Structure 1
């Protein structure tokens, strides 16, 4: 993505990334985590603010916070950058993601749509839909699709 990006810090397995959002509300630590799912080919992308949970006395990822730090596009480009890095290390793995709200899922669909030409050079992109039985199926991504989530797969060379 052609937007500016924040500098990413990652663990040795390239499954946890951290960066700082900088804006009018200060410096906010953001975290991206790639978690294995029941399907060994698919990893879930979790993204949010790193906050301290006073009750459990540990840091957690909170994907419900709206920080309004004025850097949405830079944050989305940084998250996309982590997907490039993760799938470069694990080219056979697919990445599933969705918003924590319907509005965030629509935001992700718009970001994919706006950057589809560039993203399609490296990835095959699918939309996830639920059928009448609640099962999730993947279909080719369409900019106007009504999706539950998205799956990205790196193209084979």
Structure 2
């Protein structure tokens, strides 16, 4: 990616990544999780701030927080780096992701569009749309497409 990236820490399965966003609002721990879906070849990418839920006494990802730490592009580049690492270890896996809001999904589409040439060297990229039955299906990625989410598959060498 064209932007600097944060240092990523990952678990041994390369399915959970952590990094720290640094900016005017301090140091904020971010987490990226690749989790299997009902279809064993498709993994969902979840991303957000790591927060502690005192009621449940558990940590959780909050994907709705807007931290405004002034490092959006660096964060997006870091998330993209995790996809490179995950699919390098699991090239047969397909990654699905979407924003927690329509605005974030559009942000992801813009980030993919800006970096499409570079990303397309390694990945096949699709937009996810819902058909008339409400099922999510893939469609060719278009820079101005109206997508529900995104589907990425590492190209075979």
TM-score normalized by the length of structure 1: 0.99
1:45 Cα deviation from its structure 2 partner: 0.1
1:29-57, Cα deviation, whole Å (9 max, x unpaired): 00000000000110000000000001101
1:2 Cα deviation from its structure 2 partner: 1.6
Report the counterpart of residue 32 of structure 2 in structure 1.
32
Report the counterpart of residue 150 of structure 1 in structure 2.
150
Aligned ranges 1:36-51 → 2 under 5 Å? 36-51=36-51
Report the counterpart of residue 83 of structure 1 in structure 2.
83
Measure the CA separation in 1 of the matches of 2:135 and 2:44. Answer: 17
Query: Please, what is the CA RMSD of the aligned residues?
Result: 0.4
Aligned ranges 1:127-142 → 2 under 5 Å? 127-142=127-142
Structure 2 unpaired stretches of 5+? none
Aligned ranges 1:1-157 → 2 under 5 Å? 1-157=1-157
1:10-47, Cα deviation, whole Å (9 max, x unpaired): 00000000000000000000000000000011000000
**Alignment coverage as a number of residue pairs:** 157
1:140 Cα deviation from its structure 2 partner: 1.0
Structure 1 unpaired stretches of 5+? none
1:131 Cα deviation from its structure 2 partner: 1.4
Measure the CA separation in 2 of the matches of 1:79 and 1:66. Answer: 16
Measure the CA separation in 1 of the matches of 2:85 and 2:49. Answer: 20
Measure the CA separation in 1 of the matches of 2:11 and 2:89. Answer: 12
